[in-house]
Amino acid sequence: MSPERVIRAAYSPDADDAFMFWALAEQRIDTHGVRFARERADTEALNRAAEGSAAPDVSAVSIHQYAYLTDRYLLLPHGGSVGVGYGPVVVAKRPLSRDHLRGLRIGVPGLRTSAYLVLRLLVPEFTPVIVPVAPFARAFDALDSGEVDAALLIHEGRLLYPSRGLHAALELGEAWQALTGLPLPLGGNVIARALGPALIREVSGLLRESIRYALEHRDEALAALLAAETRPGVPRERALFDRYLSMYANQDTLDYGPAGRHAIQDLLDRGTQAGLIPHQVTVEFAP
């Protein structure tokens, strides 16, 4: 009998990431002797950990952060969170236009998030204030206290702002599609080059199968994620989870497709051309 192969996989507690790994966590698919040791952390923590000496074998990261990981990771062709005419949203306590955002203090979830990169490309002149993405209420608190003039919301938080009486100043996915004609790639899963071609192919196939299984058993997966939800400030509402998964855990998650792959390279190219990414990035996908 061959020894068990252990793959360290790190992803966020957000519903779309949990959805992708649900079948693996619940042992719904045959992993053929590969065991996944799962770790959970928020987006910015995952971005930082992927650069460290104890980086996981597989990790969810921001597409922006991938620009700094190409020496050690390949981008998986599945597991992406892609917005098609929608995405993160900048909100404020009063109605503001996109032009009004220039020069303001805007709370952002991290400087390596894709949302920050896109906002900087759309609104070059603002002062970023890092506001941790967890708990979601932290961004709302920063607005209430006057710490920031506006806040950039990602993940489920971008669906919760109307209940706080806040106003959308800029829908990043909508503005991005108007500018580029492309979908907005936000997050992806990377896999360590050090695993070697054979294991990379095998693990990639298992991760793809996990996503496929969840999509084919969506109602069951949604119910399980809802029952397991423990994050502070996240309503245990099926309609919210359903809407969020429809946005970020769908057929685009199973495969970026040609448009998604092009959109990733285009986003990173624009970041380089604007001087926000210090080097040219060539996106390399795993099998």
| Amino acid at residue number 27 | Q
Query: The tokens of 38 are what?
Result: 């799962």
Catalytic residue, from 100, 155, 262, 279: name it: 155
> What does the DSSP 8-state code read for residue 79?
-
Instruction: State which H helix or E strand residue 92 sits in.
Output: strand 89-92
- The DSSP symbol for 269 reads H
Which pair of tokens denotes residue 96?
């503001």
Tell me the C-alpha to C-alpha distance, in Å, between residue 226 and each of 215, 217, 233, 244. 16, 14, 13, 12
Q: What residues pair up with 152 in beta bridges, in sequence order?
A: 90
The answer to whether 78 is a known catalytic residue is no
CB-neighbour burial class of residue 174 (10 A; exposed 0-12, middle 13-18, buried 19+): middle
**CA–CA separation, 232 vs 160, rounded Å?**
13
One-character DSSP codes across 107-156: EES-TTSHHHHHHHHHS-S-EEEE--SSSTHHHHHHHHHTS-SEEEE-TT
Q: State the burial class of residue 112 (Cβ atoms within 10 Å of its Cβ: 0-12, 13-18, 19+).
A: buried
Which amino acids are annotated catalytic? 155
